[in-house]
Structure 1
């Protein structure tokens, strides 16, 4: 049995989409909300014959990866998050690049020699790699209209991945992937007014209108922190709202706090777009933190550590 294990955001979904369009394969899908990254442990060691892992940190999944390799189960691992020490095994094919200018879908795009480049560009936009995505679009001669549509598609798919559980989402990531698998190119989605592109567009616009009224906890020249209430819409926009703030003020670091049911906070951090480093370094100082240089987060920040977190964030980027 083959397993495809992938992040439920735009990058994870569209990385797998490219791979399976190029290399169709019957597989068991393992995914979840964007922050559910300890996914590899769900693979059944007694059933697995091979595994593909996309867009989840190897460092966070090493305890589940090593038993697979010990059982001589071939693993393809493609990612751009913190990897830690990559195991030396002939059963591991690791394509890992932690540069802040790449995402997993772009690594897959390179692997496939650009066969499904429109999906890769949409994913790069979804991961808020604006400059990188625009550079690829320009190099390939895409029209400004198509480039804008790919940008919006990436943002909407990414937006769909955020939530406390998949109940918060408009589409379960596995179902969204399966719907998209019917399209070699995203272009038909833009011409069909009933497509999931327009369904997600309406939902995104409704939620972002609410986010524009978010409480500001801290705002100085180099750093801004906003807070959202404990609600499904808040959890859906927590990441894309952070991206939006970062795009509006590219010299600032941003954090978006979303209140959890236990009075802790889920935190999304975006490094300044003009200085895309350090977001992971800030977040790993807290027990449930992780991510990458340009974008990171904390899954459950205790209320008692809110001021400490803001201080650490502010001091880092001062």
Structure 2
């Protein structure tokens, strides 16, 4: 039995869409909300013959990955997050690049020689790699109307991945993947006014309008930190709102806090777009932190550590 394990954001979903459009395969899907990254451990070792892992931090899944390899399960692993110690095994094929200008979908795009590059470009936009996505559009002769549509698609699919649980989401990531897989080309989504693209667009705009009233906890020339209400809509926009703030002020770092049930806070961090490094270094200073150089997060920041977080964020980029 084959398992496809993928992050529930735009990069993970659209990487798998590309892969399975080119290389169809019967598989069992394992995914979840964007911050649910300990996904490899959900693969049942006894029944797995092979596994594909997309856009899931190897560093956070090392023991589960090693367990699969120890049980003779072949693993194809593609990612752009921190790796930690990469296991050595002939059963492991890995395509990992932690450059801040790379995402998993772009790695899959290269692997497939650009067979479904429009999906990869949408994913790059969704991961807020706007300059990279624009360059791919230019190289492929994509006009501004289509590039704007691909940017919107990536943004909306990414937005759908954020939530405390999948109950917060408009579409379960596995369902969203399966619906998108029905489209050989994303342009068909844009021409169909009843497609899920327009459903997500309406929901996204409603939630982002609410985010404009976010409480500002700290703001200067170095960084800005805001706090959103404890609500499903705020959990859905926590990541994409951080991207929007980063695009508005590319020289500043940004942090978006959302309150959790236990009184702690989920934190989304964006490095300055003009200095895309260090977001992961900031977040790993806290027990539940992780991510990549340009964008990272903390799953449960205690309330008493908010000031410490702001200080660490500010001092890192000062």
Compute the TM-score of the two structures, normalised by the length of structure 2.
1.00
State the Cα distance separating 1:72 from its structure 2 match: 1.4
Q: Which residues in structure 2 correspond to 1:28-177 (within 5 Å)?
A: 28-177=28-177
Partner of 2:246: 246
User: Given the alignment of the two structures, is residue 192 of structure 1 paired with residue 192 of structure 2, yes or no?
Assistant: yes
Deviations 1:164-198 (A, max 9, x none): 00000000000000001111100011011110000
Equivalent position of 1:259 in the other structure:
259
Q: In the aligned structure 2, how far is the partner of 1:179 from the partner of 1:81?
A: 27
Shift of 1:269: 0.1
Cα distance in 2 for partners of 1:225, 1:70 equals: 44
Within a 5 Å distance, the mapping from 1:195-206 to structure 2 comes to 195-206=195-206
CA distance in 1, matches of 2:263, 2:69: 40
> 1: CA distance between counterparts of 2:308 and 2:92?
40
1:107: Cα distance to partner?
Answer: 0.1
- What SS does structure 1 have at the residue aligned with 2:33? coil
In structure 2, what is the equivalent of residue 208 of structure 1? 208
Structure 1 position 226 matched with structure 2 position 226: yes
| Distance in 1 (alpha carbons) for counterparts of 2:313 and 2:291 | 15
Aligned residues: 318
Counterpart Cα distance in 2 of 1:282 and 1:100? 15
Task: Give 1:71 deviation, angstroms.
Answer: 1.1
The alpha-carbon deviation at position 262 of structure 1 amounts to 1.4
Compute the displacement of 1:231 (Å). 0.2
C-alpha separation between the residues in 2 aligned to 1:182 and 1:251?
Answer: 40
Distance 1:112 1:85 in 2: 27
TM-score of the pair, normalised by structure 1: 1.00
CA distance in structure 2 between the partners assigned to 1:193 and 1:22 by the alignment: 27
How big is each residue's C-alpha offset from its partner over 1:112-149, in whole Å with a ceiling of 9 and x where there is no partner?
A: 00000000000000000000000000000001000000
Give, in angstroms, the shift of residue 282 of structure 1: 0.2
Describe how 1:235-314 pairs up with structure 2 within 5 A. Answer: 235-314=235-314
Considering only aligned residues, what root-mean-square deviation do their CA atoms show, in Å?
Answer: 0.4
Task: Give the whole-Å Cα distance in 2 for the aligned partners of 1:102 and 1:83.
Answer: 15
1:265 Cα offset (Å): 0.3
Which structure 1 residue ranges, 5 or more long, are not aligned?
none
Is the partner of 1:267 in helix, strand or coil?
strand
